[in-house]
């Protein structure tokens, strides 16, 4: 599976950890930056990763900023992106099963490294359940189309 990853400076260290972890597991990772802890603007990375996932160039995306909040807000502005901000494994599983989230956002200053890796593994190991959840996803797409 091809996965896009990106972060601002607040998520840089966690991005590097997640990238290494997933590469060791055999995932094909495309890193959209940032490349250091020097101050950057999270919308730039949200747009790069969000565009690649919305275009289906890459299957899924992982975004990290200090809190995960700004980068998830920015990513969700792109039609076709469903980015869930998660800080626990239950939400990580649910955002695949119920929301068909194609991107997750994490807070590099919120979750510790061990929990972050468990969250990522849980999310990637979970599947969308369809059914009534598909109806709700379709309503989200309707909202995108109307505004």
Query: Which residues are catalytically annotated?
Result: 65, 98
Strands 103-107, 28-31: pairing is unpaired
Residue 82 near residue 76 (C-beta atoms within 8 A): yes
> Going along the chain, which residue ranges are E strands?
2-7, 28-31, 60-65, 83-85, 103-107
Taking the complex as a whole, how short is the minimal distance between the CB of residue 66 and ligand RB5, in angstroms? 3
Q: Which stretch binds ligand RB5 (CB under 6 A): 13-21, 66-74, 92-100, 137-145?
A: 66-74
Sketch the per residue contact string, 3 through 22, with ligand RB5: x for CB under 6 A, - otherwise.
-----x-x------------
Classify residue 7 as exposed, middle or buried by CB count within 10 Å of its CB (0-12, 13-18, 19+).
Answer: buried
Site for ligand RB5 in 23-52 (CB under 6 A): 42
Answer yes or no whether residue 76 interacts with ligand RB5 by CB under 6 A.
Answer: no
Give the other-Cβ count within 10 Å of 142's Cβ: 10
Answer yes or no whether residue 66 interacts with ligand RB5 by CB under 6 A.
Answer: yes
Q: What is the three-class DSSP state of 125? A: coil
Tokens at 35, concatenated:
């490349």
Answer yes or no whether residue 87 interacts with ligand RB5 by CB under 6 A.
Answer: no
Taking the complex as a whole, how short is the minimal distance between the CB of residue 146 and ligand RB5, in angstroms? 27
Taking the complex as a whole, how short is the minimal distance between the CB of residue 143 and ligand RB5, in angstroms? 23
Contact residues toward ligand RB5 (CB under 6 A) are: 8, 10, 42, 65-67, 69-70
């Amino acid at each position: 599976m091809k996965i896009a990853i990106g972060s601002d400076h607040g998520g840089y260290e966690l991005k590097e950890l997640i990238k290494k972890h997933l590469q060791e597991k055999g995932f094909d990772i495309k890193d959209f930056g940032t490349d250091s802890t020097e101050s950057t603007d999270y919308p730039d990375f949200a747009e790069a990763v969000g565009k690649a996932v919305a275009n289906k160039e890459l299957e899924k995306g992982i975004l990290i900023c200090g809190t995960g909040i700004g980068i998830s807000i920015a990513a969700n502005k792109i039609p076709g992106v469903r980015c869930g901000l998660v800080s626990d494994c239950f939400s990580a599983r649910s955002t695949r099963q119920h929301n068909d989230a194609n991107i997750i956002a994490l807070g590099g200053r919120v979750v510790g490294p061990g929990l972050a890796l468990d969250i990522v593994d849980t999310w990637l190991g979970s599947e969308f359940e369809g059914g009534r959840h598909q109806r709700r996803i379709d309503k989200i797409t309707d909202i995108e189309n109307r505004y």
